[in-house]
């Protein structure tokens, strides 16, 4: 186990449940849980304003939560008692806070300016700006047709091949920033191992105009390498071997594997072990996005992330947006017993944002062991789910309004339409506001049939912003990144490792030769054995 200044500090910290602020919150909860949200508003006419906060382009209205000013003070005390200010400093200065992997956590350096001096002494950090300018040169080369396909046709169709953080970020952001796509450029993605995505794309795409961006930190991930090999076979089949170096580029840290694949050394974009997969959009993993939206807009995304970083570092705990969101997360998770949280964006372009946050939050916080190797004594990561706007309303809002479970909600609401008729966005706004109001106020009247009653009193945050621009998206992503970090610090877990995905990968590797009929099943799981037999029979 790696020992460092940060972890020493953390290991000496008590379990969060033993902290005085936690105990105080417990007592306070007994009072707050009986208070209706509507009652909190009726006692305080300035409540909506007093429980709103701005950072960058984002305004967080958290007034529709089961909180009052005492709660807010206790949240700040809990953050301080749990060592959040020291942890923030440790992250930005490059201390190896990813303890189980012995790594710094410096995705913030990727969006910093050199003058911010974010951990400049950490190996690799000084290369950040060089990689960015290499990316810029490449992106511009493609856009102005100096870099083209093997038959000299312009490269217009960018296919990101990756999975997890090497897929979700570029996919989510390219959909969110559709109005920023450069003329003639198109984004596609391939991630799942079953091969159907590529099969569908090869029907539609012209290989001469297609550029594959293979994104993989390790360049060994089964899904990505399987898809990359299939894509290479398609390019070879349609244009011959020599075309490979013109139609494949890569973002990776593994040069040997890129050599073996045949990636042109000029078209490799590196990053460093201190960039976690789910934080990698800001690195060369963002290349496919940059190829579609242009480097100017990619840099605007980075600038947005930096705005939130500065707010996170500078704002006091009780006015710090990520800290507040994290405190609310802990409040509903550990005190109110909520097991899930819904993310509901009212802009269809953010339709993959809930999936993006699923990886960010559930891979980071799905831990039951603390930094010191001991079991946690409270619940950690919640299940994160969601869907965009009215699609969600017509799907699962029934459960939010009349179900038996408490589901805290984050509404994300842009004021201006991102490239469609504003009158339609106005309808989306009306629906979003209506839903948060109805969730809180509910509906009941004398003589009403019980099945029509909406009990209300359901909490929500509304994150309001003027328009979904690259800067705003950068701020939103960084906001949730820091929220997840703060929750992890409070729980005492390592938010930056992901050991829980390893076992399944190992078992799948062993099973793949069995499924292919090349080996016998040597495991001891009777259900797997039975399923394998059925698969074999049905194939005959
Ligand atoms: O699923 C686990 C994981 O390691 C993620 O954290 C990561 O985003 C993904 O796999 C992809 O990894 P790589 O970029 O190395 O292909």
CATH of the domain at 224: 3.40.50.10490
Q: Are residues 269 and 362 in the same domain?
A: no
Taking the C-alpha atoms of residue 318 and residue 234, their distance in angstroms, rounded to an integer, is: 55
Quick one: which atom of ligand 1 is closest to the CA of 168? 8
Taking the C-alpha atoms of residue 184 and residue 521, their distance in angstroms, rounded to an integer, is: 50
Query: What is the mean pLDDT of the segment spanning 344-351?
Result: 98
Query: What is the mean pLDDT of the segment spanning 471-496?
Result: 98
Q: Is the CB of 221 under 6 A from ligand 1?
A: yes
Q: Which residue from 339, 343, 338, 378 is spatially nearest to 360, judged by alpha carbons?
A: 343
Largest interatomic CA distance in the chain:
78
Return the pLDDT at 419.
Answer: 87
Q: Is pTM, for the whole model, over 0.85?
A: yes
Taking the C-alpha atoms of residue 378 and residue 333, their distance in angstroms, rounded to an integer, is: 9
Taking the C-alpha atoms of residue 58 and residue 63, their distance in angstroms, rounded to an integer, is: 15
Look at the block and give the residue holding tokens 């090999």.
229
Q: Is the CB of 170 under 6 A from ligand 1?
A: no
Q: Are residues 267 and 319 in the same domain?
A: no
Q: Are residues 413 and 277 in the same domain?
A: no
Return the pLDDT at 14.
Answer: 81
In a domain, 123, yes or no: no
Return the pLDDT at 1.
Answer: 39
Of 394, 437, 466, 529, the catalytic one is 394
Q: Are residues 493 and 505 in the same domain?
A: no
298, 332, 347 - which closes a domain: 298
Could you report the per-residue pLDDT of 85-141, keeping only the tens digit for each? 999 999 999 999 999 999 999 999 999 999 999 999 999 999 999 999 999 999 999
Q: Number of folded domains in the chain? A: 3
> Ligand 1: distance of its center to the CA of 411 in Å?
28
* Contact between 407 and 342 (Cβ < 8 Å): yes
**Which residues, at least 6 apart from 396, have a Cβ–Cβ distance to it below 8 Å?**
342, 387
* Contact between 104 and 122 (Cβ < 8 Å): yes
Q: Is the CB of 166 under 6 A from ligand 1?
A: yes
Return the pLDDT at 207.
Answer: 98
Taking the C-alpha atoms of residue 228 and residue 217, their distance in angstroms, rounded to an integer, is: 14
Query: What is the mean pLDDT of the segment spanning 196-225?
Result: 97
Q: Are residues 382 and 421 in the same domain?
A: yes
Pocket test for ligand 1, best of 163, 170, 495, 508 (most atoms within 8 A of CB): 163
Taking the C-alpha atoms of residue 463 and residue 62, their distance in angstroms, rounded to an integer, is: 9
The question of whether 482 is a catalytic residue gets the answer no
CATH at 525: 1.10.1390
Q: Is the CB of 500 under 6 A from ligand 1?
A: no
Q: Are residues 434 and 387 in the same domain?
A: yes
Pocket test for ligand 1, best of 103, 160, 165 (most atoms within 8 A of CB): 165
Q: Is the CB of 283 under 6 A from ligand 1?
A: no
Residue having the nearest C-alpha atom to atom 3 of ligand 1: 164
CB atoms within 10 A of CB 255: 14
> Ligand 1: distance of its center to the CA of 503 in Å?
14
In a domain, 405, yes or no: yes
Query: What is the mean pLDDT of the segment spanning 430-439?
Result: 98
Could you report the per-residue pLDDT of 23-55, keeping only the tens digit for each? 999 999 999 999 999 999 999 999 999 999 999
**How does the average pLDDT of the chain come out, rounded?**
96
Of 26, 39, 374, 505, the catalytic one is 505
- What is the side-by-side order of every strand in the sheet holding 383-386? 52-55, 58-61, 460-465, 409-414, 340-345, 383-386
* Domain coverage including residue 47: 16-81+315-444+451-497
Based on its alpha-carbon atoms, the radius of gyration of the chain, rounded to whole angstroms, reads: 24
> Ligand 1: distance of its center to the CA of 315 in Å?
32
Return the pLDDT at 8.
Answer: 53
Pocket test for ligand 1, best of 100, 107, 164, 224 (most atoms within 8 A of CB): 164
Q: Is the CB of 535 under 6 A from ligand 1?
A: no
Q: Are residues 490 and 507 in the same domain?
A: no
pLDDT surpasses 70 at 355: yes
Of 95, 208, 363, 481, the catalytic one is 363
Query: pLDDT > 70: what percent of the chain?
Result: 98
The angle, 0 to 180 degrees and rounded to 10, between the axes of the packed helices 69-81 and 470-491 is 70
> Ligand 1: distance of its center to the CA of 370 in Å?
22
Q: Is the CB of 163 under 6 A from ligand 1?
A: yes
């Amino acid at each position: 186990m790696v020992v460092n200044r940060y972890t020493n500090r953390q290991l000496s910290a008590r379990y969060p449940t033993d902290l005085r602020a936690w105990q105080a919150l417990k007592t306070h909860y007994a009072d707050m849980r009986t208070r209706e949200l509507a009652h909190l508003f009726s006692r305080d006419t300035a409540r909506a304003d007093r429980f709103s906060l701005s950072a960058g382009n984002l305004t967080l209205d958290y007034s529709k939560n089961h909180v009052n000013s005492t709660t807010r003070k206790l949240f700040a005390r809990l953050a301080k008692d749990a060592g959040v200010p020291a942890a923030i400093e440790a992250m930005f200065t490059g201390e190896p806070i990813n303890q189980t992997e012995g790594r710094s956590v410096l995705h913030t350096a990727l969006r910093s300016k050199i003058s911010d001096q974010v951990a400049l002494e950490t190996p690799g950090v000084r290369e950040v700006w060089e990689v960015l300018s290499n990316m810029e040169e490449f992106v511009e080369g493609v856009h102005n047709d100096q870099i083209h396909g093997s038959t000299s046709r312009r490269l217009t169709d960018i296919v990101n091949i990756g999975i997890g953080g090497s897929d979700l970020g570029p996919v989510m952001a390219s959909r969110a920033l559709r109005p920023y796509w450069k003329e003639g450029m198109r984004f596609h993605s391939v991630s799942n191992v079953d091969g159907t995505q590529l099969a569908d794309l090869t029907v539609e795409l012209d290989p001469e105009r297609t550029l594959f961006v293979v994104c993989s930190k390790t360049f060994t991930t089964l899904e990505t390498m399987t898809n990359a090999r299939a894509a290479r076979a398609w390019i070879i089949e349609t244009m011959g071997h020599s075309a490979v170096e013109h139609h494949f580029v890569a973002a990776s840290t593994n040069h040997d594997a890129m050599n073996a694949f045949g990636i042109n050394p000029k078209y490799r974009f590196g990053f460093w072990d201190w960039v976690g997969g789910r934080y990698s959009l800001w690195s060369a993993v963002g290349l496919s996005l940059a190829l579609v939206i242009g480097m100017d807009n990619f840099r605007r995304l980075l600038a947005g992330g930096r705005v939130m970083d500065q707010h996170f570092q500078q704002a006091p705990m009780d006015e710090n947006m990520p800290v507040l969101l994290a405190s609310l997360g802990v409040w509903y998770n550990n005190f109110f017993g909520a097991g899930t949280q819904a993310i509901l964006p009212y802009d269809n372009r953010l339709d993959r944002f809930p999936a993006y946050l699923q990886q960010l939050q559930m891979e980071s916080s799905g831990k039951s062991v603390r930094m010191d190797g001991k079991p946690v004594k409270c619940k950690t990561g919640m299940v994160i789910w969601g869907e965009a706007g009215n699609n969600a309303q017509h799907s699962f809002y029934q459960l939010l309004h009349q179900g038996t479970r408490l589901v805290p909600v984050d509404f994300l609401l842009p004021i201006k339409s991102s490239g469609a008729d504003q009158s339609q966005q106005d309808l989306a706004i009306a629906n979003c506001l209506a839903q948060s109001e109805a969730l809180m106020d509910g509906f009941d009247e004398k003589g009403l049939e019980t099945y029509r009653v909406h009990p209300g009193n359901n909490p929500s945050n509304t994150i309001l912003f003027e328009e979904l621009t690259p800067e705003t998206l950068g701020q939103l992503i960084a906001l949730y990144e820091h929220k997840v970090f703060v929750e992890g610090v409070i729980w005492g877990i390592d938010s930056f490792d992901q050991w829980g995905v390893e076992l399944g990968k190992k078992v799948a590797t062993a099973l793949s030769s069995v499924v292919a009929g090349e080996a016998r099943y040597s495991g001891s799981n009777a259900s797997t054995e039975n399923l394998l037999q059925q698969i074999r029979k049905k194939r005959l």
